[in-house]
Amino acid sequence: MSVAMNENHPAGSSRSKRTEARREPPSGSDVGPVRAGLEGGSYKPLSPNDIERVHEAVLSVLENIGFANAIPSCLDALIRAGAIFGDDGRVRFPRALVMETVRKAARDFTLHGQDPRHDMRLQGTRVHYGTAGAAVHLVDAEKGEYRESRLQDIYDAARLVDLMDNIHFFQRPMVARDMVDPADLDLNTLYACVTGTTKHVGTSFTVRENVAPALEMLYTIAGGEENFRARPFVSNSNSFVVSPMKFAEDACGVLEACVQGGIPILLLSTGQAGTTAPAAMAGAVVQAVAEVLAGLVYVNAIRPGHPCILGAWPFVCDPRTGTMAGGSGEQALLTAACAQMAQFYDLPGGSAAGMSDAKLPDIQSGYEKGVTNVMAGLSGLNLVYESAGMHASLQGFCLESLIIDNDTIGECLRCVRGIEVSDTSLSLDVMAETCLNGPGHYIGHDQTVRLMKTDYFHPAIADRLGSKEWAEQGKPDMLGRAVAEKRRILANHFPRHVSKATDDALRARFPNIQLPRKAMGL
């Protein structure tokens, strides 16, 4: 996509057309009340003047402070691109280099699923929700206990997400603590993810050397390297920066190998306001955006136009305790502001929401996930990571919460979709017909019947019974329904998109695959 931009106004001129498109009622196959890729952008915590000031501060940070600890290959690529290596060992980025990179960077691209039904077009303010994280515990919601997460848990989470309509992608949410060797960890995590769901998968790698076998696995599943490069169904979540503004050696090696292998990159900056980022929220946004733009220059210096996502994820610290406050209003504001900055550069953006600090799927979990997820969606964030299943400030992941959060995200998406105003939806004829010549109510009217299918979201497990009916049915609760649904899915849903012949070839090539076939229903 060609975008007209200058140093002060990088955003393209197509945003007003996108806004108008958002107001139009759905047509064709998009007739449900919610779906992936709805246009957000109605919530804007930063004013246009605020955005300009943040942008200028970002350029100043990159030009005057720069980054430390660049590995030799990173330093070579950046210097060739036009960065400056100072006597103090820091790499600085002239604003002309940054803006030229923004101008030429990949935009309006697709993150693919193994099933094309799950392809996600990253454009403008189109919104998608998914998982992410590196939780080291699985939350046993039935017992109210935590235990170390295992490889089987990752596969089970992928299977659940595969059937959750409102969770659009699956990024590895847990660390398989039963994998001792880092090479086994990386390969088995990837295997569990890509065999558990046909949706787009995000994963991480520990060191550069672990990328090559992963690429071989992906090329095999895709039916060849060319096929994978044409439709890469896995992206790399890459923490290339250690905040504040230092390159991470191992992650940079991984980034380079993934770029060369054709894997899209989520450029992650995860500074925590008050500890590894400024406590002032505006400063935290400036640092996060500066860090991911430095990563954008880095990737484009290696391979111009390689697909990247600006993963500005400034986290929040509770100043009273020093612990993370991922479910806070401050977190919601930071996420929405970072979405605005990605839109300012007209580049795909991803950030985090739904990171409840509650230890279990309870009332606190519900309000924290609801507030942060809906603000992320209303801001028009392209990819909302961590949005489902996460608890205890990213320490625990809950399978039952995936099912509950699928309902929550559906409600958030309905808010994102907004209200379509047209001659038909204004309903003047319907009101006249009902009030002047009809029964005086709209129950059973053609419009009511039709719109209940297209305009009203119906949660899968939320309770909308009357109080009497609820009591007569034994006072069921949401967690109980989620437990039952989890058990039903895990007992019956074993994806078969990776053929047995391909799986046989993978297991012969990689004898360190440790997910038992019995656990996969084979």
Is 15's pLDDT higher than 70? Answer: no
Find the mean pLDDT for residues 514-520: 95
Kindly state whether residue 451 falls inside one of the protein's structural domains.
no
Check which CATH number belongs to the domain holding 46 and give it.
Answer: 3.20.20.480
Domain limits for position 190: 1-6+35-418+459-522
- Range 496-499, long-range pairs (CB < 8 A, 24+ positions): 497/114, 497/115, 497/198, 498/194, 498/195, 498/221
> Per residue in 366-378, pLDDT tens?
999 999 999 999 9
Kindly state whether residue 431 falls inside one of the protein's structural domains.
no
Find the mean pLDDT for residues 216-220: 98
Residue keyed to tokens 């605020």: 50
Q: What is the pTM of this model?
A: 0.93
> Per residue in 319-362, pLDDT tens?
788 788 999 999 999 999 999 999 999 999 999 999 999 999 99
> Per residue in 251-307, pLDDT tens?
999 999 999 999 999 999 999 998 999 999 999 999 999 999 999 999 999 999 999
Cβ-count burial 214-246 (b if 16+ within 10 Å, e if not): bbbbbbbbbeeeeebeeebbbbbbbbbbbbbbe
Kindly state whether residue 501 falls inside one of the protein's structural domains.
yes
Find the mean pLDDT for residues 228-244: 98
> Per residue in 27-84, pLDDT tens?
444 678 999 999 999 999 999 999 999 999 999 999 999 999 999 999 999 999 999 9
**What is the helix, strand, coil percentage profile of the chain, to 5?**
45, 15, 40
Kindly state whether residue 64 falls inside one of the protein's structural domains.
yes
Q: Which segments of 393-454 are extended strands (E)? A: 396-397
Kindly state whether residue 19 falls inside one of the protein's structural domains.
no
> Per residue in 417-441, pLDDT tens?
999 999 999 999 999 999 999 999 9
Kindly state whether residue 436 falls inside one of the protein's structural domains.
no
Find the mean pLDDT for residues 223-232: 98
Alpha carbon distances (Å) from 66 to 53, 63, 90, 188, 282 = 19, 6, 6, 37, 19
Number of Cα atoms under 13 Å in the Cβ half of residue 473: 13
**Residue 30: predicted pLDDT:** 63
> Per residue in 145-157, pLDDT tens?
999 999 999 999 9
Please name which of 425, 500, 518, 516 lies closest in space to residue 221, comparing C-alpha atoms: 500
Mean pLDDT of all residues belonging to the chain:
93
Residue keyed to tokens 């992320």: 376
Please give the DSSP secondary-structure letter assigned to residue 26.
P
Type of residue found at 368: E
Secondary structure of 234-277 in the HEC alphabet? EEEEECCEECCCEECHHHHHHHHHHHHHCCCEEEEECCEECCCE
Kindly state whether residue 440 falls inside one of the protein's structural domains.
no
- How many folded domains does the chain comprise? 1
Please name which of 44, 202, 14, 194 lies closest in space to residue 107, comparing C-alpha atoms: 14
